[in-house]
């Protein structure tokens, strides 16, 4: 490490006259975080819309798409938390202006891991019912594997840009991604090229293009990286507790979908996936805000600054509550002439399913605030212990009530994230008070 800032100096403030500088800088970066998350999620949203329209008359195919998408989420979380997150935590020890220098070194050191971990998606092929031909299953698996390999690298690039106060650079990468998706899907639609694997493969191609754009900019504009000696073994050791807890959450989402598919049919999983697509504006907002707030929360957690954490948590939860209520009014009811009923008609097939999914997504994503604090405070074991609550509740309820279809899956997930919020919030409170 070429230069190490003392703990508590990550913001670079130096005296009372500069006390408000970090807050001004944070306020200026929040729009970039929303653009970044909005563009990236819009790309995923576009893939979901294409899948919903493509498989509108084939719930089994949509259920297969949802299963492979869930497996992609599992693979990407393993790469992100197991390898890339420890690098991002170490970047807090560098002055902000030096953090972009980690981009090239971290991708070289850990990028190859994403390609091995991507193979996690393959077993999903065996869970798809026989009503989906084997050729379509294999093609979906191949596309999901490619997406699982490249997406964590692109996510890592964007997070490091945010860590280095270059949030508009991260927004630029996401903008390239969404533009690439628009071109790919438009050309495919005009050409009548609509195989079952196209939604996932198009998203994977857009990730390749946008990650390449971010790396090209780094190669041309950034100085050589610091000598941090990012050894794979050390990264995996550091990230194992973060990985274990986060993986438990993601694998539970995967298992809930799989259980409902087996017990109630792939069409029920398709209804849940359709509702998840409609709930994305809420998750886009949370992820966008957290892209900017997460480094601040990690720094506050490292300093055990409970007052600063409290201000950020109140800000986030207030915004999440307002947006969730607003989106429920707009989306939870199939209003006449609503474009949402055209985008994803299957989301409205099961009464009350969509409101439950929207609320569950909002509560689940909002727990990221506690994760950032605990990671910054180096309490990864506490985080891992807290993260097992949601999987236990969700999978247990899915096993007990899986015969009741899509609503059982949605309520199981909602119960899991509600319990997780209580446990993570309590654990964070104890850590900030120095009692854990």
**CA proximity to 361, closest of 401, 327, 398:** 327
Q: What is the pLDDT of residue 182?
A: 93
Say if CB 67 and CB 124 are below 8 A apart.
Answer: yes
Q: What is the pLDDT of residue 1?
A: 35
Tens of pLDDT, residue by residue over 59-80, are 778 888 888 888 888 788 888 8
Q: In this predicted model, which residue has the larger pLDDT, 381 or 94?
A: 381
- C-alpha 282: how far from chain center: 13
User: Is it the case that residue 285 has pLDDT exceeding 80?
Assistant: yes
Neighbour count for residue 3 (Cβ, 10 Å): 10
pLDDT band at residue 227, thresholds of 50, 70 and 90?
low
Helix, strand, coil percent values for the chain (each to nearest 5): 80, 0, 20
* Most confident listed range (47-61, 71-85, 263-277, 306-320): 306-320
pLDDT band at residue 13, thresholds of 50, 70 and 90?
very low
Q: How far apart are CA 174 and CA 30, in angstroms?
A: 15
User: Is it the case that residue 14 has pLDDT exceeding 60?
Assistant: no
Q: Which runs of consecutive H residues, i.e. helices, occur in 265-279?
A: 266-278
Neighbour count for residue 142 (Cβ, 10 Å): 17
Neighbour count for residue 49 (Cβ, 10 Å): 17
Q: What is the pLDDT of residue 84?
A: 84
């Amino acid at each position: 490490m070429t230069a190490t800032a003392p703990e508590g100096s990550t913001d670079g403030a130096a005296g009372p006259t500069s006390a408000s500088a970090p807050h001004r800088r944070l306020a200026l970066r929040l729009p970039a975080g929303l653009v970044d998350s909005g563009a990236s999620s819009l790309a995923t949203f576009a893939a979901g819309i294409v899948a919903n329209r493509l498989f509108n008359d084939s719930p089994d195919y949509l259920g297969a798409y949802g299963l492979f998408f869930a497996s992609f989420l599992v693979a990407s979380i393993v790469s992100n938390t197991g390898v890339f997150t420890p690098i991002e935590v170490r970047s807090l020890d560098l002055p902000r202006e030096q953090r972009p220098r980690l981009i090239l070194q971290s991708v070289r050191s850990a990028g190859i891991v994403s390609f091995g971990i991507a193979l996690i998606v393959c077993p999903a092929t065996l869970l798809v019912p026989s009503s989906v031909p084997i050729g379509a299953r294999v093609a979906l698996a191949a596309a999901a594997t490619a997406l699982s390999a490249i997406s964590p690298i692109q996510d890592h690039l964007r997070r490091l840009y945010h860590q280095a106060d270059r949030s508009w650079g991260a927004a630029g990468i996401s903008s390239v991604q969404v533009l690439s998706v628009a071109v790919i899907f438009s050309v495919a639609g005009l050409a009548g090229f609509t195989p079952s694997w196209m939604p996932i493969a198009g998203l994977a191609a857009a990730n390749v293009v946008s990650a390449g754009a971010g790396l090209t900019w780094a190669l041309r504009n950034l100085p050589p990286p610091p000598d941090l000696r990012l050894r794979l073994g050390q990264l995996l050791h550091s990230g194992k507790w973060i990985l274990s807890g986060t993986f438990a959450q993601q694998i539970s989402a995967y298992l809930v979908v799989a259980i409902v598919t087996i017990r109630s049919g792939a069409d029920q999983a398709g209804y849940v996936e359709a509702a998840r697509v409609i709930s994305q504006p809420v998750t886009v907002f949370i992820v966008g805000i957290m892209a900017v707030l997460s480094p601040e929360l990690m720094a506050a957690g490292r300093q055990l600054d409970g007052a600063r954490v409290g201000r950020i948590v109140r800000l986030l939860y207030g915004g999440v509550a307002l947006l969730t209520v607003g989106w429920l009014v707009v989306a939870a009811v199939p209003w006449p002439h609503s474009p949402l009923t055209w985008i994803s008609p299957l989301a409205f097939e099961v009464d009350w399913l969509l409101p439950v999914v929207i609320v569950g997504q909002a509560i689940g994503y909002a727990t990221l605030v506690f994760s950032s604090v605990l990671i910054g405070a180096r309490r990864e074991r506490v985080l891992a212990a807290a993260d097992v609550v949601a999987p236990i509740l969700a999978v247990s309820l899915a096993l007990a009530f899986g015969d009741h279809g899509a609503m059982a899956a949605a309520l199981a997930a909602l119960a899991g994230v509600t319990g997780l919020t209580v446990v993570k919030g309590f654990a964070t409170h104890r850590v900030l008070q120095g009692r854990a």
